Chains A and B, each alone.
Chain A
Amino acid sequence: MPHVDELRAKLIEDAGSAAEADRLLPALRHLADWPAPTPTALETDRLVQTLAAELSAQRSSSIVSLMAGLLRAQLRVVQHEIWLASAFVMTLGVLVTLTLQPGTSIELLPVVLLAPLMAALGIAFLYGPAADPSLEIELATPASPRLIVLMRLLLVFLFDLVLSLAGSAALVVLQGSWSLWPLVALWLAPMTFLAALAFLLSVLFIDPLISALICLVLWGLQVLRAFPPFAAFPDWLASDLRPWLWLMALLCVSVALWLAGREERQLLKRI
C-alpha cells in the first residue's frame, strides 16, 4: 500500500487543493483497508444476465443505425444518372398523358406503362462492375453484402415509387378523369415485380444490360398486347394476376439476396 504522504500528494494532484485532499484522505484510507466481498455464484449470474441484456440491446440499436447509415450512404453511392433518368422519364410520361384525349383507356396511359419500366431499368443498373466498383473492398468488411444491396434496392425502389405516385397524383389533379387509387393499383404490382426481376437478373448475370434487355422485352410484350398477335400473352395489369406478381416479386428478391451473399461467385463472375 502506498505511503500516506504519497496518497496525499496524488490526491492534491487530482483534487486540486490540499484542503480537499485532507477531506478525502480518511475515505481513501478506509477504502484501501476495506476487504471487498467475493460475489456469490448467484450474484455473478445476475450480473452476466444484466450485461448480456444490455449488450444485446446495444447490438440491435447498432444494427438499426447501420441500416439507417447504409441507406443514407447509398444516396451518394448510387449512380446519379439513375435519379435523373427516372425523373425525366416520369415527367415525360405525365406530360404525354396530359396531351391524350379524355376517355383513353386507363390501361394504355403512358404513366401506367412507363412506371414499371422506369423502375426496372433503374434497378437493373444498381448492380455490376460500373455500379459497385469497390465490391471487393466492401466484401472484405464485416457488413453483410445482402444488407448493402437490399438498402440500395430499397432506396431506388422507394424513389421510383414516390415519383410514380407523384406522377399519378399530378394526373388526377390536372386531368380529373381518373381516381388516384385505381390508377396506382394498376401499375403498382407490375412495377414491383418487374423491378424485382431486374434486380434478380442483374445479380444473376452481373450485367445490367442483359437485365435491362430482358425486362424491356417482357414489358414490351405487355404493351403490345393491344395488337392481335400478342393478345395471348398474360395481362400483367389484370387485377387477378396481382397476388401472383407480388409473390413472384418476393421470390425474385429472396433469390437475388441469396445470390448477392455468395461472395466468391460475385467476385469471380466479374473477372
Chain B
Amino acid sequence: MISISNLTKTYPGKVQALRGVDLEIGGGMFGLVGPNGAGKTTLMRILAGLVRPTGGTVSVLGQDVTTPRGKLATKAVLGYLPQELGLYPNLTAREFLDYIAMLKGVTDRAIRRRQVNDVLQQVRLSDEVDRQLKTYSGGMKRRVGIAQALLGDPQLLIVDEPTAGLDPEERVRLRNLLADMAARRTVILSTHIVEDISQSCTDLAVIAHGKVLFQGASRDLIAQARGHVWTINSSGERPNAGLTIVSTLQLQDTVQYRVLGEPHGHAATPVEPSLEDGYLWLMNNAG
C-alpha cells in the first residue's frame, strides 16, 4: 500500500532529516516511533505530499507522491492530523469541519452536512458542535482534528503525535478511536510515546536520526530485549554503569530498579520485556 525506498530529505542549512529510509506499510494500524527530532514529522509530511523529498521514491496507493499528479491523487484519499494542530478559534466545530469538507471537494451542502454529522458522531462530539473551538479542551480539539481527518472517508489516515499533551483518559479514548478507524483503512500513527504503539499497533517501525532502525511486528521488537531485562532490589547505591535504568520503584526498605543490560555483580531477577524495553534496548544498541 505504501512503499518507501531510499528516501532522503535535507533541509536548507544541510540539516539531514531523513537518510535513506526504506519502509513497506500495509493495511491496518502502523506505528512509527522514535525520539523527538528523529525525522518522523518530515516522513509524515512527505507522505502527505506537503514536503518534497531530496531523493528516493515514495508510492502511496500506487501513486508517486513526488509528482504533482501523484500528490494530488494522494491528497484525495488522505486524512491528515498534523503534530501542531491549529484550529480557527472563533469557528464552531461544525463550521470548521464544514470548511475542511469543502476543501476536500465536497461542494454539495447537504452531503457536507451529512459527512460532518457522521464524523462528529464517530469522535463523540455531537453534543458540542456549536461551541467555538477556543472553548474546547485539548482532548476535544484533538478529536476535532481526527474528525476533520476522517472527512471524505479517506483510505489513508496519517496522525502525527496525536496524544501529545493529553491526560491519560483522553489518550486511551483517542487510541481506541484510532484503532476503530484502522479496521477499514491504513492508519499511520507517529509518536514518541511507546505505550501508544504497544496498545494499538501490531506492526511498527523505529526511526532515529533519520534512519529506520527496526521494522516488523511488536513481538519481534520485544523479543530483542528478552534475556536483557532485570529487576534489582537495592537498599544502597543505584545499579552501576553499563545498565540502563528503565524505572525506579521506591519500596518500604529498598528501591526496586528495572534495568536493561548485563547485571554483573548484582542480585538480579530476569523479567519479561515490554515493548518499551525492546525499544530502549534497540536505541541503546544503535548508539
* Residue ranges of A at the interface with B (Cβ–Cβ < 8 Å): 62, 65-66, 69-70, 73, 76-77, 79-80, 129, 132-143, 148, 263-264, 267-268
Contacts and interface: CB of A to CB of B under 8 A. Distances in A.
B48 A140 contact: yes
Contacts of B89: 133
| Dominant SS among interface residues on chain A | helix
A76 B91 contact: yes
Interface stretch (B95-103, B233-241, B245-253, B277-285): B95-103
B11 A133 contact: no
Nearest to B82: A136
Contacts of B49: 140, 263
B148 A137 contact: yes
Given A264-B52, A267-B45, A62 B88 contact: no
Nearest to A65: B107
Nearest to B78: A140
Contacts of B99: 73, 76-77
B176 interface: no
A134 B97 CA distance: 11
B102 A137 contact: no
Contacts of B72: 142
Interface of B: 11-12, 45, 48-52, 72, 75-76, 78, 80-82, 84-91, 95-96, 98-100, 102-105, 107, 145, 148
A136 B89 CA distance: 16
A264 B51 CA distance: 5
A70 B106 CA distance: 11
A228 B87 CA distance: 50
17 contacts: A70-B102, A73-B102, A77-B99, A133-B87, A136-B80, A136-B84, A137-B82, A137-B85, A137-B86, A138-B103, A140-B48, A140-B75, A141-B105, A142-B105, A263-B49, A263-B51, A267-B45
B102 A69 contact: yes
Contact of B88 (A77, A136, A141, A264): A77
Contacts of A140: 48-50, 75, 78, 80, 82
B87 to A, nearest CB: 6
Given A264-B50, A267-B50, A142 B75 contact: yes
A70 B75 CA distance: 18
A69 B108 CA distance: 9
A176 to B, nearest CB: 42
B47 to A, nearest CB: 10
Given A140-B48, A140-B75, A268 B107 contact: no
A76 B95 contact: yes
Contacts of A66: 102, 105, 107
A190 to B, nearest CB: 32
Contacts of A80: 90
A62 B105 contact: yes
Contacts of B12: 268
